[in-house]
Amino acid sequence: MKTELNLTNSLLTNLWNDEAGVILSAEIVLVLTIAVLSVVVGLNAVAKAVVFELADVASAIGAVSQSFHVEGFHNEHGNACTDGFGFQDRSDECDCAVIFTNGGGIKVDRVNGPGSGGPEGGRRGK
């Protein structure tokens, strides 16, 4: 039992005093700096991708026509009826299609078509 304890103490002492595999603090700083810069660049790319996808969703929602019409009702006896009603969706400044350019700029789609509208575009539903 005593020899096993001495062997364990000797092994632990050798490991404690061994400096062949020591990582220098300068190496740690270099590795952590590269790791942090990589994370920042990666998160920046993710943020831009999310912004572009949300802009696509906003353009898709703006292109939806919200017009509707409900016909009136008249019963066969002619003593009960209701008038029809509806809503015609017209273009406004929120309906224009926004396009993000590679340079980071924003331009407005001035061509009539899905998603275009407002003063620069035509009325939807023509």
Number of domains observed in the structure of the chain: 1
pTM score:
0.41
Closest-CA residue to 104 (of 47, 60, 63, 27) = 47
For residue 2, being part of any structural domain is answered with no
For residue 1, being part of any structural domain is answered with no
For residue 11, being part of any structural domain is answered with no
The residue whose two tokens read 């660049």 is 41
For residue 44, being part of any structural domain is answered with yes
The alpha carbons of the chain give a radius of gyration, in whole angstroms, of: 35
Find the domain containing 60 and state its range: 30-65+91-120
For residue 53, being part of any structural domain is answered with yes
For residue 39, being part of any structural domain is answered with yes
Tokens of 98: 């926004």
Which residue blocks in 1-126 are alpha helix, DSSP H?
A: 2-17, 25-62
- Residue 100 predicted with pLDDT over 70: no
Report whether 97 contacts 116 (CB < 8 A): yes
Instruction: Tell me the pLDDT tens digit for each residue of 25-58.
Output: 888 889 999 999 999 999 999 999 999 999 888 8
* DSSP code for 24: P
